[in-house]
Every structure is written in structure tokens, then in C-alpha cells.
């Protein structure tokens, strides 16, 4: 089953559930019921739990994870979940608290082991020195888009494996073994990605949303300007003119956007600067090739390298 349109990992289980008129969980024989807020954490949970968990992703790669509708099927899934795996750092502040209240499931409330926050496991970038929400900044807790750095995903994986074992003690050894296997394959992949990414070091870029600081830090990309001065808000024409002026002084090589971003801002800039727009999958399911976490970074690197080919 592809991750493009993530629903239930087990189509057979879903079919059985529909036939019986039961909630999908009821038909599942898996031990843990996991709802992931974003596709990357659904994919990571599947790497670590395999058949030991039924994993449901609240969002797809085509959705803006800052803004999600708490549709009835999502509320139903959270109501029965043993574990919520979310980014945290306020990425889901606009929809998760409401979802937690509506679901009325004590296991996944703040402070309980049934709520796992990936961003709490790693060092965050972009933590504002001065907190002023009047700026319209939705990244007041630091930048939450950590999934663009595979080294941070490795740290999240170790913590998530421990949490799975804590919630499902009879299978603790399985999670440990699966994590060790994943960690080894992941580290080998990071080494391979870093070797291939050498031509990207120092590359000046423009970003659509402040969504790539971790990718920039990992690969040594240099962000010259951002099209969305305030995350999630349409850039004003005054801001777009300022970005153009910046690029005249300090030229960039490409414009970066996520699969879910509205492409109009980057198209506007591309027409005026003749810079290529590179749409990155950004998460699992964000492109045909980004079918799992390994594919996500294979494709991210391939797209960046293709754009800078001489």
C-alpha cells in the first residue's frame, strides 16, 4: 500500500471493519493503535513497530500540518489510540488540543506516556529570543520542521522505540531489535546522503516558508530570503519587492518549497528571477519516490542535485 494516501496500514483490516460496521481498530489484531500527526512519524512508527502497531496518519504530505480539520474519522481514531506521535513545538497548536478534547481519551492527553512529541527529543533551531505572537509567528516554540534532518530523525527514533516498549512491555525486545536494525540502516544512508550532497555546500537559496532550517543546517545550504515573512501568511507585494532587492544584492541559485505549499509565491519570484523552483517532498508521500523515510531523503537529495547541475 502506498503512503501517498495514508489511511489504514491494513486494507484487509479496514475492509473487515467496514463489513462489520465496527471502528477500524476493532478488526485489527495489532497490539498498539498509533495515530501520527504527520506522515513522517507514521512512517517512523512503522519502521520501529512493523506488525506490532496499526498506524493511522492524521495528515498527508499534501496538507499543511499547521492547519488541519478535526474530521470525525480522525476524532474516532484518536479516541481509540494508545499513542499519539506528533511533532510538538506548537506545530499542531491550531488543531491538536481541540482534537484531544473532542476525542476524550485520557491516554493521549498532555503529560501522559500516550503522547509522544518528536520535537521534544532534539535541539530546536529558531527559538525566538523575544516572544511576540503579534508578529504572527506560528513558530513561537522554535522551528518545528525537524523532519528535514535525518540526524534528528535518528534521535527521535531512539526515543520513540523506548516509548513503544514502555507502552507495550511484552514486545520490548522486538522494538529494541527493530530499532537497532533501523538505526544501522539509517546511519549508513546518512553517510551516503552526506557524501552525495557535497556539491550543495554553501548553496544560496530562497525558501517559500521558514520550513527548511534543519535541512539547511545539515547540508550547509545558505538561506538568503524567505517568501513568507510570517509563516502561513501570504507575502505582501512590499515584501516580495524586498525579496527581489535582496536577491539583486545577494543572488540565490534556487527557490525551495514543500510539496504542500501553494506554488504561487515561488512562481511569481521564478518568473522575475529566472531561478528554478525545487518542490521537495518534505515528508513521506510528498512525491512518487518518497514512499518511506529512506525514499524521502533519496528524492530530496536527487531533486536538489539535479537543480544545481552545471
Tell me the CB-side half-sphere exposure of residue 171, using CA atoms within 13 A: 18
Minimum distance between the CB of residue 156 and Zn ion, rounded to whole angstroms? 17
Nearer to Zn ion, 50 or 231 (CB): 231
Binding part of the chain for Zn ion, among 1-9, 17-25, 223-231, 299-307 by CB under 5 A, reads 223-231
Minimum CB–partner distance for residue 25 and Zn ion (Å): 31
Q: Are 68 and 59 in contact, with CB atoms under 8 Å apart? A: yes
3-class SS shares of the chain: helix, strand, coil, % to 5: 50, 10, 40
128 binds Zn ion (CB under 5 A): no
Q: Minimal distance in Å, beta carbon 210 to Zn ion?
A: 6
Size of the site for Zn ion (CB under 5 A): 1
Query: Quick one: 144 or 150, whose CB is closer to Zn ion?
Result: 144
Phi (first) and psi of residue 119, to 5 degrees: -65, -25
- Max distance between CA atoms of the chain, in angstroms, equals 65
Q: Which residue is nearest to Zn ion (CB)?
A: 231
Pick the closer one to Zn ion by CB: 178 or 209: 209
Which residue lies nearer to Zn ion by CB, 31 or 90? 90
Least distance (Å) from Zn ion to the CB of residue 232? 7
Q: Looking at beta carbons only, is 128 or 231 nearer to Zn ion?
A: 231
Q: Which is nearer to Zn ion, 93 or 190 (CB)?
A: 93
Cβ neighbours around 234 below 10 Å, total: 13
Site of grid cell 535541512: 215
Comparison of 126 and 276: residue with beta carbon closer to Zn ion: 126
**In angstroms, what is the minimal distance from the CB of 142 to Zn ion?**
11
| Smallest distance, Zn ion to C-beta of residue 129, A | 18
CA–CA separation, 213 vs 207, rounded Å?
10
Segment lying near Zn ion (by CB under 5 A), choices 17-25, 37-45, 147-155, 231-239: 231-239
Q: Which among 207, 210, 180, 191 has a CA at the least distance from the CA of 150?
A: 191
Residue 57 · residue 169 · CB < 8 Å? no
Between 126 and 204, name the residue whose CB sits nearer to Zn ion. Answer: 126
What is the chain's Cα-based Rg?
20
Ordered alpha helix ranges (H), the chain:
11-20, 24-27, 39-49, 72-79, 96-103, 150-167, 172-196, 213-219, 237-249, 264-273, 293-307
Span interacting with Zn ion, options 26-34, 44-52, 217-225, 230-238, rule CB under 5 A? 230-238
The only residue of 231, 263, 277, 305 in contact with Zn ion, by rule CB under 5 A? 231
CB of residue 231 vs Zn ion: minimum separation in angstroms? Answer: 5
Q: Choose one: 40-48, 96-104, 226-234, 262-270; the region binding Zn ion (CB under 5 A).
A: 226-234
Minimum separation from the CB atom of position 141 to Zn ion (A): 11
Element (H, E) at 1: none
Going across the sheet that includes 83-86, the strands are: 53-57, 32-36, 83-86, 115-117
Q: Which residues bind Zn ion (CB under 5 A)?
A: 231
Amino acid at each position: 500500500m502506498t503512503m501517498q494516501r495514508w489511511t489504514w496500514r491494513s486494507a484487509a483490516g479496514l475492509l473487515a471493519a467496514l463489513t462489520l460496521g465496527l471502528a477500524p481498530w476493532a478488526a485489527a489484531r495489532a497490539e498498539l493503535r498509533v495515530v501520527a500527526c504527520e506522515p513522517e512519524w507514521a512512517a517512523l512508527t512503522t519502521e520501529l513497530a512493523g506488525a506490532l502497531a496499526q498506524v493511522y496518519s492524521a495528515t498527508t504530505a499534501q496538507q499543511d500540518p499547521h492547519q488541519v480539520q478535526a474530521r470525525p474519522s480522525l476524532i474516532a481514531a484518536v479516541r481509540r489510540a494508545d499513542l499519539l506521535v506528533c511533532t510538538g513545538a506548537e506545530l499542531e497548536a491550531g488543531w491538536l488540543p481541540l482534537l484531544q478534547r473532542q476525542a476524550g481519551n485520557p491516554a493521549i492527553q498532555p503529560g501522559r506516556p500516550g503522547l509522544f512529541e518528536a520535537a521534544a527529543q532534539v535541539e530546536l533551531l529558531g527559538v525566538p529570543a523575544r516572544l511576540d505572537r503579534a508578529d504572527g509567528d506560528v513558530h513561537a516554540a522554535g522551528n518545528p520542521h525537524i523532519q528535514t534532518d535525518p540526524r534528528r530523525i535518528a534521535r527521535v527514533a531512539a526515543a520513540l522505540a523506548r516509548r513503544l516498549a514502555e507502552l507495550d512491555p511484552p514486545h520490548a525486545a522486538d522494538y529494541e531489535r527493530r530499532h537497532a536494525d533501523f538505526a544501522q540502516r539509517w546511519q549508513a544512508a546518512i553517510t551516503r546522503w552526506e557524501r552525495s550532497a557535497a556539491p550543495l555546500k554553501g548553496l544560496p537559496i530562497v525558501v517559500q516558508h521558514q520550513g527548511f532550517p534543519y535541512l539547511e543546517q545539515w547540508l550547509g545550504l545558505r538561506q538568503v530570503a524567505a517568501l513568507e515573512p510570517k509563516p502561513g501568511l501570504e507575502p505582501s507585494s512590499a515584501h516580495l519587492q524586498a525579496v527581489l532587492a535582496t536577491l539583486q544584492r545577494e543572488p540565490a541559485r534556487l527557490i525551495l518549497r514543500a510539496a504542500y505549499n501553494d506554488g504561487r509565491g515561488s512562481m511569481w519570484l521564478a518568473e522575475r528571477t529566472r531561478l528554478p523552483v525545487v518542490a521537495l517532498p518534505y515528508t513521506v508521500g510528498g512525491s512518487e519516490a518518497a514512499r518511506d523515510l529512506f525514499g524521502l531523503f533519496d528524492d530530496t537529495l536527487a531533486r536538489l542535485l539535479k537543480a544545481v547541475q552545471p
